[in-house]
Amino acid sequence: MSEQSGQQTPLPHRAAGEVRAVLEQQRAAYEALTARGLKLDLTRGKPAAAQLDLSDALLSLPSSATDKSGVDTRNYGGLEGIRELREMFADLLWVEPDQVVAGGNSSLVMMREVLVDLWLKGGVDSERPWGQEEKVTFICPVPGYDRHFTLLDWFGIDTVTVPMNEDGPDVDAVAALVADDPSIKGMWIVPTYANPTGSVVSLEVAERLASMPTAAPDFKILWDNAYAFHHLTEDEAKSADILSLASAAGHPHRPIMFASTSKITYAGAGVAFLGGSVETVRWYTGHLGKGAIGPDKLNQLRHAEFFGSPQGVRDHMAKHRAIIAPKFDEVDRVLTERLDGLGIATWTKPTGGYFVSLDVLDGTAARVVELAKAAGIALTPAGSSFPRGEDPDDRNIRLAPTFPGIEEVTAAMEAVATCVVLAAAEKLAG
The number of residues making up the chain comes to 430
pLDDT number for residue 415: 97
Question: Which CATH number is 3-51+315-429 given?
Answer: 3.90.1150.10
CATH number for the domain formed by residue range(s) 76-308: 3.40.640.10
Alpha-carbon Rg for the chain, nearest whole angstrom, is: 23
Contact 393, 363 (CB under 8 A): yes
**According to the model, what pLDDT value does residue 202 have?**
98
CA 231 to CA 264: how far, in whole Å?
A: 11
Tens place of pLDDT for every residue, the chain, 430 residues? 233 334 689 999 999 999 999 999 999 999 999 999 999 999 989 999 999 999 999 999 999 999 999 999 999 999 999 999 999 999 999 999 999 999 999 999 999 999 999 999 999 999 999 999 999 999 999 999 999 999 999 999 999 999 999 999 999 999 999 999 999 999 999 999 999 999 999 999 999 999 999 999 999 999 999 999 999 999 999 999 999 999 999 999 999 999 999 999 999 999 999 999 999 999 999 999 999 999 999 999 999 999 999 999 999 999 999 999 999 999 999 999 999 999 999 999 999 999 999 999 999 999 999 999 999 999 999 999 999 999 999 999 999 999 999 999 999 999 999 999 999 999 999 8
CB 333 within 8 A of CB 410: no
**Rounded to an integer, what distance in angstroms lies between the CA atom of residue 178 and that of residue 58?**
45
- The Cα–Cα gap between 360 and 98 comes to 46
pLDDT value of residue 7: 67
> Which H, E and C letters describe 254-283, residue by residue?
CEEEEEECCCCCCCCCCCEEEECCHHHHHH
- Among residues 386, 429, 424, 354, the alpha carbon closest in space to that of 18 is found at 429
SS3 of the chain: the string is CCEECCEECCHHHCCHHHHHHHHHHHHHHHHHHHCCCCCEEECCCCCCHHHHHCCHHHHHCCCCCECCCCCECCCCCCCCCCHHHHHHHHHHHCCCHHHEEECCCCHHHHHHHHHHHHHHHCCCCCCCCHHHCCCCEEEEEECCCHHHHHHHHHHCCEEEEEEEECCEECHHHHHHHHHHCCCEEEEEECCECCCCCCCECCHHHHHHHHHCCCCCCCCEEEEECCCCCCECCCCCCCCCCHHHHHHHCCCCCCEEEEEECCCCCCCCCCCEEEECCHHHHHHHHHHHCCCCCCCCHHHHHHHHHHHCCHHHHHHHHHHHHHHHHHHHHHHHHHHHHHHCCCCCEEECCCCECCCEEEEECCCCHHHHHHHHHHCCEEECCCCCCCHHHCCCCCCEEEECCCCCCHHHHHHHHHHHHHHHHHHHHHHHHC
The domain segmentation of the chain, as residue ranges, is 3-51+315-429, 76-308
pLDDT value of residue 1:
29
